[in-house]
Amino acid sequence: MGQGFVSRGFHGRRQQQQSTLTNRIPPGQYLERGFPVLSAGPTPHTPLAAWDFTIEGAVNQPKRWTWEEFRALPHEDITVDIHCVTKWSKLDTRWEGVSIDTLLQQVAPTTEARYVIAFSDGGYTTNLPLDEMRGGQAWVVYAYEGQPLAPEHGGPARLLVPHLYFWKSAKWVRGLQLVEQDEPGFWETLGYNNHGDPWKEERYQGD
Amino acid sequence: MERRALPGRLGERLVWQLGDVLATREETPRAKSITLAVPNWRGHRAGQHVDIRLTAEDGYQAERSYSIASPPVEAPHITLTVERLDDGEVSPYLVDELRVGDKLELRGPIGGYFVWEANSGGPLLLVAGGSGIVPLMAMIRQRAAVGSNAPTRLLYSSRTFEEIIYREELEQLVTNSGSTGLEVKHTLTRAQPVGWTGYHRRIDGEMLREVAWPLEERPLSFICGPTPFVETAAASLVGLGYEPARIKTERFGPTGESGASGASGASAVPGGHDGE
């Protein structure tokens, strides 16, 4: 339904009609210059002394890093476009953090590991295919635009998986559990798509 | 009514549908309510939202999310309340152009967390900043419609008296609820009419302490408004000892926005929706 439907009197602002932007903004998204905040509950404030990051589950060497240990890992600067399921996209965001490849090297996933459950302070979880977190596709980031990541944006550290809708980039992330069977996370059990590819507009269940 | 299958959990695709605009109503100089008949509406829960898609003659499209203001009992009619953002693309069309007899393309309901149902229990603490009242109003209306006696308090921050959305209806609901029920406290942050006896400052921890339910009653809280407003309110409740897991939030707009009402230049989702 709705094919061919025209909204009487709607002309639009065409902010995205420049061709350079069109191929960077997925369908149904618009360009946002601010940085909206979207969270389901209060912002957690975990002191760095109490923070750690764990990788467990289908790995040969489960590992836990303290904040100092994590910050001593090889890190990189990342500039990527991000896309939120609430329709905004933000281009050329600059982050600093540790590649998931670097972390996985240290824990040696088993050959059966297929999926990742990211878990966060506050109880948030999200699920991702392991293959989509490898090969320079995902990071744990702790700085945004040259500044420590603010708590409301997920600080001290959040996941960054820019090729999927941004709810997959879990704020306040504290670890990854590698599993053999997929297991829907928080939003994935509340009506949102299990995968979340913005270029396929995988917003909600069944998309 | 309460035993209906839960919308949004079934895994079937949310299809785009056309709703007929049955009525519009000016709530404030900036906010308008739009009532739609949606023939195949699958039902919703109070607090959920819809995606709206506008299409220009050349095929250009724009999509945004808006909270549903009407209670589930009114299905298959739904009402959205939209606040005009002056530099927005969709909200000026909905507030200024759309009229009775037009059709509007939508899909939903969306969002399965920021929802209240009669069996969610209480007491309820609702905290609204500006147009953040919209999803909370669906809860207040549903509560009245199904005869729930969950004790409910609303703390509602607006810039001015004229910008209070649903002011008269809220007064009426308070009167009708008698002693069992609904209490509404307003704060006006920018200007107050002569003789105003409500709060007249931005929301803060002291205000929340005065309004909040005692901890031992295990209140359930819903907070919706601009990001700094929600951060303040949620952090204050956590500071008072409220369980974080029983504080549900919807934020809109970017960080660092000033003002306690819902119209930011760069605001993402008027009416609120959380998805990040």
* pLDDT for res A18: 60
* pLDDT for res A186: 96
Chain B: residue nearest A40 by CA?
A: B249
Q: In this complex, which of A14, A33, A40 lies closest to B248 when CB atoms are compared?
A: A40
In this structure, the answer to whether residues B70 and B186 fall within a common structural domain is no
Residue B54 structural domain: 17-110
Residue B95 has pLDDT above 50, yes or no: yes
Contact of A95 with chain B, judged by CB distance below 8 Å, is answered with: no
Residue B3 has pLDDT above 70, yes or no: no
Percent of chain A's residues with pLDDT above 90: 88
As beta bridge partners, residue B109 has: none
Chain A: residue nearest B236 by CA?
A: A42
- B110 chain-A contacts, CB cut-off 8 A: 191, 204
Residue B262 has pLDDT above 50, yes or no: no
Residue A135 has pLDDT above 70, yes or no: yes
Tokens of B134: 């919209």
Tokens of B236: 């204050």
Q: What is the CATH number of the domain that holds B216?
A: 3.40.50.80
Domain contains A16: no
In this structure, the answer to whether residues B39 and B97 fall within a common structural domain is yes
Q: How confident is the model at residue B273 (pLDDT cuts 50, 70, 90)?
A: very low
In chain A, residues 140-169 whose CB comes closer than 8 Å to chain B: 150, 152-153, 165-167, 169
Instruction: Name the minimum distance, in Å, from the CA of A76 to any CA of chain B.
Output: 23
Q: How confident is the model at residue B143 (pLDDT cuts 50, 70, 90)?
A: very high
Chain A: residue nearest B102 by CA?
A: A8
* pLDDT for res A4: 72
Q: Which of A16-20, A173-177, B61-65 bottoms out in mean pLDDT, i.e. has the lowest?
A: A16-20
* pLDDT for res A3: 59
CA–CA distances in Å: residue A190 to residues A91, A153, B8, B149: 28, 22, 7, 27
- A9 chain-B contacts, CB cut-off 8 A: 93, 97-98
In this structure, the answer to whether residues B127 and B213 fall within a common structural domain is yes
Tens of pLDDT along B181-190?
A: 999 999 999 9
Q: How confident is the model at residue A36 (pLDDT cuts 50, 70, 90)?
A: confident
Domain contains A22: no
In this structure, the answer to whether residues B81 and B207 fall within a common structural domain is no
In this structure, the answer to whether residues B240 and B217 fall within a common structural domain is yes
Contact of B3 with chain A, judged by CB distance below 8 Å, is answered with: no
In this structure, the answer to whether residues B126 and B103 fall within a common structural domain is no
Domain contains A41: no
Domain contains B276: no
Helix axes B133-145, B167-177, angle to 10 degrees: 30
In chain B, residues 64-103 whose CB comes closer than 8 Å to chain A: 64-65, 89, 93, 97-98, 102-103
Contact of B232 with chain A, judged by CB distance below 8 Å, is answered with: no
* pLDDT for res B255: 53
Domain contains B163: yes
| Ramachandran angles phi, psi of B178, nearest 5° | 60, -145
Interface probe, candidates A86, A144, A201, A203, chain B, greatest B C-beta count within 10 A: A86
Name the DSSP letter for residue B93.
I
Q: In this complex, which of A7, A32, A187 lies closest to B55 when CB atoms are compared?
A: A7
Residue B263 has pLDDT above 50, yes or no: no
Domain contains B1: no
In this structure, the answer to whether residues B248 and B122 fall within a common structural domain is yes
Chain B: residue nearest A205 by CA?
A: B11
Contact of B269 with chain A, judged by CB distance below 8 Å, is answered with: yes
In this structure, the answer to whether residues B247 and B130 fall within a common structural domain is yes
Q: In this complex, which of B105, B113, B250 lies closest to A2 when CB atoms are compared?
A: B105
In this structure, the answer to whether residues B141 and B211 fall within a common structural domain is yes
Q: Give the residue from B110, B145, B160 where a domain finishes.
A: B110
Q: How confident is the model at residue B233 (pLDDT cuts 50, 70, 90)?
A: very high
Number of domains present in the structure of chain A: 1
Interface probe, candidates B95, B97, B274, B276, chain A, greatest A C-beta count within 10 A: B276
Q: For residue B64, what is the enclosing H or E element?
A: strand B61-67
Strand A63-66 and strand A52-57: the pairing is antiparallel
Q: In this complex, which of B54, B110, B254 lies closest to A10 when CB atoms are compared?
A: B54
Cβ contact B33:B94 at 8 Å: no
| Contact criterion met (CB < 8 Å) for A205 and B10 | yes
* pLDDT for res B11: 58
Q: In this complex, which of A5, A15, A206 lies closest to B55 when CB atoms are compared?
A: A5
| Contact criterion met (CB < 8 Å) for A44 and B244 | yes
Q: Which of A19-23, A87-91, A150-154 bottoms out in mean pLDDT, i.e. has the lowest?
A: A19-23
Domain contains B47: yes
Give the mean model confidence (pLDDT) for residues B113-135.
Answer: 94
For the entire predicted model, the pTM comes to: 0.90
Instruction: Name the minimum distance, in Å, from the CA of A73 to any CA of chain B.
Output: 27
Give the mean model confidence (pLDDT) for residues B146-172.
Answer: 96
Residue B266 has pLDDT above 60, yes or no: no
Domain contains B213: yes
CA B263-B266-B268 angle, 5° bins: 80
Domain contains B26: yes
Domain contains A20: no
Residue B194 has pLDDT above 80, yes or no: yes
In this structure, the answer to whether residues B205 and B103 fall within a common structural domain is no
Residue A59 structural domain: 27-33+46-200
* pLDDT for res B274: 34
In this structure, the answer to whether residues B76 and B124 fall within a common structural domain is no
In this structure, the answer to whether residues B100 and B157 fall within a common structural domain is no
- B273 chain-A contacts, CB cut-off 8 A: 38, 86
Tokens of B121: 């229990």
Q: How confident is the model at residue B254 (pLDDT cuts 50, 70, 90)?
A: low
Q: What is the CATH number of the domain that holds A195?
A: 3.90.420.10
CB atoms within 10 A of CB B11: 10
* pLDDT for res A66: 98
Give the mean model confidence (pLDDT) for residues A64-83.
Answer: 98
Q: In this complex, which of B14, B93, B235 lies closest to A204 when CB atoms are compared?
A: B14
B159 — alpha (psi -120 to 50), left (phi > 0) or beta? alpha
Tokens of A15: 């902010």
Number of domains present in the structure of chain B: 2
Percent of chain B's residues with pLDDT above 70: 87
Residue B42 has pLDDT above 50, yes or no: yes
Domain contains A107: yes
Contact of A39 with chain B, judged by CB distance below 8 Å, is answered with: yes
Residue A56 has pLDDT above 60, yes or no: yes
Domain contains B268: no
* pLDDT for res A139: 98
Domain contains A142: yes
Domain contains B184: yes
Q: What is the CATH number of the domain that holds B95?
A: 2.40.30.10
What's the mean pLDDT when you consider all of chain B?
88
Tokens of B79: 């009402």
Q: Which residues contact B107 (CB under 8 A, 6 or more apart)?
A: B14, B15, B16, B17, B50, B51, B53
Tokens of B131: 């147009």
Domain contains A38: no
Give the mean model confidence (pLDDT) for residues A59-64.
Answer: 98
Domain contains A3: no
